Structure 1
Amino acid sequence: MTGADSTDVEIERVIAPFPRRTAERRVKPFVILLSAVLALGAGWALATIFQSPTQRDAATAPPTSGPVLATVSTGNLVRQTDFSGSVVPENEESLSLAIPSGALRSVVTGRPVTQGMTVNTGQVLTEVNGRPVFVVQSAFPFYRDVGLGDQGPDVVAIQETLKHLGYSLNADGEFGAQTETAVREWYSRNEYTPATRDVDNESNLRASDSEQTDDGQQTGDASEVTRATSAAFVPFSEVVGVTILPSVSLSALPVGDAVGADGKTDIVLGSTTTIVTVEVVPADLTAIAQGSEVSIEIDGQVSTGTVSSIELSESPLQEESTIDRNESDEIPGTSIVTVIPSDPIQASHATVRVVASQIIVDQDALLVPTIAVIDRGDTNQVVIVRRSGGELTEVEVTVLGALDGITAILPSSPSSIQDGDQVRVGS
């Protein structure tokens, strides 16, 4: 053996025993674990083989049955019905603007009314053919030009508007020198030149003599009035009467659109006060009544409202011809329910949730699951109450009402069942 061979043999003697000892240490725990599992399995098998029939029946039998109980509570039975409602102005008014005298065509030339804009009495509503159209609160439409010497309710409406704007005059229905001066300033304040017409000196003098202020003082300077040859007036086409002010613009014509067409609406105004309207089918009319209070939910906020009216709204099918249709064949229409909110609602809230609550039982009754009430024949109903000792006792009750699986009961004896007791609903 050479020196090299002798060295290799020594290395092998040192290294070879090491892997064998490591493998032995890994195998021994595995063998022990396997032996334990086999021993347990064998024990279970032997225990199963040597079980008595009684033991096997007990192991496979279902658990012992017992009563299923529910807790008695106290409260009212209230049915809630949800509706989808729309916020609309309480009043709407459609306006058709007059064509200026002598104009071949009338168009909006400036100051267009924007949607949602608030309109107040005395302001310029829009501009037609370069001239202002003033809005005036009036119970009737204007029907003529109004100027010096004129009298009537239309004069009163203009005078009331001028007083609202801060002009000092008496709304006596007579268009005198004081009113004429206020009209001039009204136009000038809005950057327009008032329309004028020729008047004779005698009319000017009468107008000056007849007009007084609220405190009875004479107004105007007779010498100046008699020297005037023209006076300011309000043309029929430059004023429009609106029943309710302030109002909100719902729709209007833009600059460039023609106005004054027969049967055409130029501007639609709505009152600033709003209502909620709900369309209800006949089946749901029992859930809501005139005068009842409802809840109105908007963007997570809840307020209240009162049902003011319920009116039948004919469907398109009902508006068609009724030839060859018997009364029994009539198609039931929907109804429009109007709700007056207790707090103002902005018209921008197009849709809201309306909740109507219908009280089924309005007393503080005992409430149990409907399944807990047992019919014993005739008019006798009972519930089975579990006493503190665990025994079950039948208690005779009167059913006051039921709703959505809950029944309101009145026990024959007040002490026989109380809030917090438990009743059987099954077993």
Structure 2
Amino acid sequence: MDGSPAPAEPLRGRRRFLIGVVTGAVVMAIAGLGASTLIKSPQQAAAEAAPPGPSLITATVERRVLRQAVVLRGTVEPDRALDVRPVPGAGRAVISRRTVKAGARVEAGTVLAEISGRPVIALKGVVPPYRDIHRGMKGSDVDQLQAALSGLGYRVTDRDGVFGASTERAIRKMYQARDYDPPVEEAEQPDPTAAPSASPTTAASRPAYLPMSEVYYVRSLPARVSAVKAGLGAEVRDAILTLSVGDMVVRGSLAPADRELVETGMPVQILNETTGRTVTGEVASIGDLRPGGGAEAGHPITVGATKALPSNFAGEDVRLTVTAATTGQAVLVVPVSAIFSAADGSTQVLRVPEGDRRRSVTVRTGASAGGFVEVSGDGLTEGDRVAVGGIPDGTG
């Protein structure tokens, strides 16, 4: 024996063997883990596909002004339509010059049309003309004429209802300002046996008067021409124009179910969806139920604007939102779905503090609108959260 150590080769071989075994075990463990994530039992797959359990849905208690609104459609129309039918004069009446067009604004003193070379002048008044007015005449129609002339800015000093010199001068000025010769009295036929006059009578020296065919009285001015019914050269047999008199209003139909909610004087928002512009107004009138089937049945409703409606609203189909009720000031509100009746008959909500620990709070309800209801009661303040759905025990 030489006392030398054992060869290292067997030890090294055993070490390699052990490392290989450990490595294989690790690989198999990883492979098994991967397979376990891909291969699932039917029970596990069904459990993972099932919907999640019900969770608690909450909403915040807040303060707001509640408004109950009724929405309907309406059409913008003139308050009153007036057909202009001039009083025919002597001879054939033909429109010789059209002076106004559809959409034109008609003021006091506007020449509505020229008929057989003579003007038809719009004046403010109530009683239609029924006679030619000459110097020396008296009456309510003379008084109306004097008021109209004064409204145009002409000075009239005659006694009310008496056609005198200042009334005549005002008539002359009215015609001359519109480039027309004033109508004058017919000249007296001279006596052939009399000596020739040194100063023959001229139109300027003859008294002026007002023919009833050359004036048209309108109760409310200004107005607007909504339609022209007779063109140049047409013979005047009927109405030649239609005037929109008074401010524009909105007319619609109120559903029978909403009639008890809406009263005259309630505020209204008028929305022109073409332009996106909103104008405020109020309910002016509500008529009796108009018979009809289905959607045709309803109460005629008229809405007037707080200020005059813009001209581009004319004829438009608009949306009307009537504020039928309001709390007037901000009140404590919760969603309607948060309210439930308890077994004792009280009205309650479920208050949800931190940690989802629910507590029933008895409340009194008030006005409701837009999915919210007014509440009051001890234990509920602004900012609290209340349950509105997903309550697992079925309460609510």
CA distance in 2, matches of 1:37, 1:115: 94
What residue is the counterpart of 2:306 in the other structure?
Answer: 342
What residue is the counterpart of 2:256 in the other structure?
Answer: 282
Residues 57, 390 of structure 2: 8 Å contact kept? yes
What residue is the counterpart of 1:165 in the other structure?
Answer: 152
What residue is the counterpart of 1:300 in the other structure?
Answer: 276
Matches for 1:370-409 after TM superposition, within 5 Å = 370-388=336-354, 390-403=356-369, 405-409=371-375
Question: Paired residues, what number?
Answer: 346
Name the SS of the counterpart of 2:143 in structure 1. Answer: helix
- How much has 1:130 moved relative to structure 2? 1.2
Paired AA for residue 235 in structure 2: A
- How much has 1:171 moved relative to structure 2? 4.7
Name the SS of the counterpart of 2:208 in structure 1. Answer: strand
CA distance in 1, matches of 2:184, 2:27: 118
What residue is the counterpart of 2:61 in the other structure?
Answer: 72
What residue is the counterpart of 2:234 in the other structure?
Answer: 257
What residue is the counterpart of 1:44 in the other structure?
Answer: 34
Among all aligned residue pairs of Structure 1 and Structure 2, give the percentage whose two residues are the same amino acid: 29
Name the SS of the counterpart of 2:135 in structure 1. Answer: coil
- Is the alpha carbon distance of 1:72 and 1:157 closer, same or farther for their aligned partners in structure 2, counting shifts above 3 Å? same
- Is the alpha carbon distance of 1:404 and 1:230 closer, same or farther for their aligned partners in structure 2, counting shifts above 3 Å? closer
Matches for 1:7-46 after TM superposition, within 5 Å = 40-45=30-35
Name the SS of the counterpart of 1:181 in structure 2. Answer: helix
- How much has 1:141 moved relative to structure 2? 0.4
RMSD over aligned CA atoms reads 3.7
- Is the alpha carbon distance of 1:360 and 1:190 closer, same or farther for their aligned partners in structure 2, counting shifts above 3 Å? closer
Gaps of 5+ in 1: 1-35, 201-222, 319-330
Paired AA for residue 122 in structure 1: G
Paired AA for residue 366 in structure 2: L
CA distance in 2, matches of 1:381, 1:271: 55
What residue is the counterpart of 1:111 in the other structure?
Answer: 98
Paired AA for residue 45 in structure 1: A
CA distance in 2, matches of 1:365, 1:177: 71
CA distance in 2, matches of 1:59, 1:333: 56
- Is the alpha carbon distance of 1:360 and 1:377 closer, same or farther for their aligned partners in structure 2, counting shifts above 3 Å? farther
Residues 305, 341 of structure 1: 8 Å contact kept? yes
CA distance in 1, matches of 2:52, 2:297: 58
CA distance in 2, matches of 1:175, 1:162: 12
- How much has 1:39 moved relative to structure 2? 7.8
Gaps of 5+ in 2: 1-25, 189-198, 392-396
Q: In the alignment, is residue 417 of structure 1 matched against residue 391 of structure 2? A: no
Paired AA for residue 377 in structure 1: A
Deviations 1:50-70 (A, max 9, x none): x9x9x9999899767653332
Paired AA for residue 336 in structure 1: P
TM-score, length of structure 1 as denominator length? 0.70
Paired AA for residue 285 in structure 1: R
- How much has 1:312 moved relative to structure 2? 2.8
Deviations 1:100-127 (A, max 9, x none): 12x1x32211133211212222232211
- Is the alpha carbon distance of 1:391 and 1:192 closer, same or farther for their aligned partners in structure 2, counting shifts above 3 Å? closer
TM-score, length of structure 2 as denominator length? 0.74
Which one has the bigger helix percentage? 1
Higher mean alpha-carbon deviation, 112-121 vs 365-374, is at 365-374
- Is the alpha carbon distance of 1:376 and 1:360 closer, same or farther for their aligned partners in structure 2, counting shifts above 3 Å? farther
Paired AA for residue 257 in structure 1: A
